[in-house]
Amino acid sequence: MRTSSHQRPGQVLVLVALCLVVIISFVAIALEGGLLLDHRRRGQAAADAAALAGATDLLYCSAPKSMGLSQCPMETTALARQTALAFAKANGYANDGTLTTVDVNIPPSSGVFANKPGYIEVIVTFRQERGFSAIFGSGALPVRARAVARGYWSTSPGSLVLLVPGQTVKVGGNGQLRVDGPVTVNSSDPQAAITTGGGFAQASPFNFGGLPGWSGNYQGPKNSGVPPVPDPLAYLPTPTEGEEQSSKKLTLNNKDPVTIKPGLYEGGISITGSGDVIMEPGIYYMKGGGFSMTGQGNLIGSNVMIYNDPAKSSDVINIAGSGSGKVLITPPSSGIYQGISIFQERTSTATISITGNGKFDIGGTFYAAGAELMLAGNGDTRIGSNFIVSTLTTMGNGVINSGPSDNPPPTPVFGLVE
């Protein structure tokens, strides 16, 4: 039997060519697909940043007129669009019309929030030139990303206690802290909030960053492992000093009534007398020295905010009511500092001490982002409506009530919605 081998010239070449097409296809998918995914990720980050930046302009330009913030250098929509384009460019999307394009729509032109005011839509497109995939087609491959953001002002009347990381809530003695609203503890410490003795705290709800986040008697719904909340008043500027009212520490040790005016107090104010002190409406700027009230008279102020700019840690705010007098202070009802009764320089750690005895009612928000707020009461007192502080410590045997406020400061809320 005769065997023979048949020569088939070119057959292997055809197989190799077919295999190369498959191999190149996989290379195109692996390399160019990876590049497309990378550009998609970068584009989404750029769209998110641009939409949030534009929403910030929409937010501040639409602030309530009473705040005095709604003064924009140009028409609001144009400003927001300009800001969004600038942020997109800073993130690699220059809107040159060839390699990249950026479309900003106010209000959005598509999606759930189409044609709704207060929203901004940003669509970024990157055109990737073909490499190996040129065997399947021609022209650049478009990569698109889209984001929609919104900003608005919240004026919830509920009380808020916002605290920065650390062991931040301490309730001691036999006293009670009753907060009409939520308490947010940003600390991740498992025992950031503690009660000792017969004391207890009550709120609805408690939001703890730690697990569980508290130890002791905390009454009300409790949520653990809650992400930190940003400072809701971070937008507030430092107030102006105003007209100088005293070039050195003002000490009031009087028996007769005294009326003081808002403005700059070099060295602060100390009230130790038995006479009444009336504070006219406005901002009282303590430049060093702090603010102290330990007298036996009445301290009364309507539409008043005390700003403390300590020169040293001993320049504290210390307001102590007495059995024979009363402390009645209400915060401004309008303007950028609406609803804020005490504002301390954000980085200062100077302690704020409020002791309620007798007739004691200080409304409004206490804002001291870097400091400890110490509250004490031996009666049934109302102290503050919102606390934005580093540490809250309560002492005494009385009941301390917080909130709600009839005129809380607006707080900005903005974020991505699509």
Mind listing the pLDDT tens digit for each residue in 307-351?
999 999 999 999 987 767 789 999 999 888 999 999 999 999 999
By DSSP bridging, strand 141-154 and strand 411-416 are: antiparallel
Alpha carbons within 13 A on the beta-carbon side of 271: 30
pLDDT above 70 coverage of the chain, percent? 82
Alpha-carbon 81 to chain mean position: 24
Do the strands 291-293 and 317-320 form a parallel or antiparallel pair, or are they unpaired? parallel
Helix/strand/coil for 346: coil
Report the pLDDT value the prediction gives residue 158, as an integer from 0 to 100. 59
Amino acid (1-letter code) at residue 61: C
In the three-class reduction of DSSP (H, G, I as helix; E, B as strand; rest coil), residue 40 is classed as helix
CA 414, CA 418: separation in Å to the nearest integer? Answer: 12
**Boundaries of every domain in the chain:** 13-154, 160-228+240-410
User: Which strand ranges, in their side-by-side order, compose the sheet holding 359-362?
Assistant: 218-219, 200-202, 176-179, 399-402, 380-383, 359-362, 326-329, 299-301, 277-279, 258-260
User: Is the predicted pLDDT of residue 33 greater than 80, yes or no?
Assistant: no
- Position 406 scores a pLDDT of 65
Nearest to 395 by CA among 380, 375, 413, 410: 375
Angstrom distance (rounded) from CA 400 to CA 306: 21
- C-alpha span between 193 and 186 (Å, rounded): 11
Q: Which residue has better confidence, 169 or 323?
A: 169
Q: Please give the mean pLDDT across all residues of the chain.
A: 84
| Rounded to 5°, angle at Cα 214 from 209 and 216 | 170
pLDDT digits over 109-139, tens only? 999 999 988 899 999 998 877 655 555 656 6
Any residues with CB less than 8 A from the CB of 24 and at least 6 apart, and which?
132, 135
The residues near 290 (Cβ < 8 Å, ≥ 6 apart) are 268, 308, 310, 314, 315, 316, 317, 318, 350
Q: Could you tell me the CA-to-CA distances from 85 to 146, 162, 396 in Å, in that order?
A: 14, 34, 56
Q: How far apart are alpha carbons 410 and 168 in whole angstroms?
A: 25
Summarize pLDDT for 243-285 with one digit per residue, the tens: 999 999 999 998 899 999 999 999 999 999 889 999 999 999 9
Higher-confidence residue: 16 or 394? 394
Summarize the confidence of residues 161-171 as an average pLDDT: 77
The pTM of this model reads 0.77
Is cis: bond before 107, omega within 30 of 0?
yes
